[in-house]
Copies of this chain bind each other. A is one copy, B any other.
Amino acid sequence: MASTLDEQAAVKFIGRVVEVNGEESEIEIMSEFCRGLFHLNHFSHLIVLYWLHLRDNENDRRTLRVIPMRHEGAPEMGVFGTRSPSRPNPIGLCVVELLKLENCALIVKGLDAQEGSPILDIKPYIPRADSIPEAEVPEWTLKGPAT
Contact = CB atoms under 8 A, between A and B. Distances in A.
Contacts of A79: 36
Contacts of A82: 123-124
A83 B123 contact: yes
B122 A146 contact: no
A9 to B, nearest CB: 5
B10 A80 contact: no
Interface residues of A, number: 75
B126 A87 contact: no
A141 B125 contact: no
Given A121-B89, A126-B147, A35 B78 contact: yes
A91 B121 contact: yes
Across the A-B interface, give the 8 residue pairs with the lowest CB-CB distance, nearest first: A38-B78, A44-B136, A129-B146, A45-B135, A80-B122, A36-B64, A40-B81, A36-B78
21 contacts: A1-B16, A5-B116, A7-B12, A10-B11, A11-B89, A11-B91, A35-B64, A36-B87, A36-B88, A38-B65, A42-B81, A43-B136, A44-B135, A44-B137, A80-B122, A82-B123, A83-B123, A87-B121, A91-B121, A125-B137, A127-B134
Given A43-B135, A93-B93, 17 more contacts: A5-B116, A35-B78, A36-B64, A36-B78, A36-B80, A38-B78, A40-B81, A42-B81, A82-B123, A83-B123, A89-B120, A95-B132, A126-B137, A127-B133, A129-B146, A130-B135, A131-B135
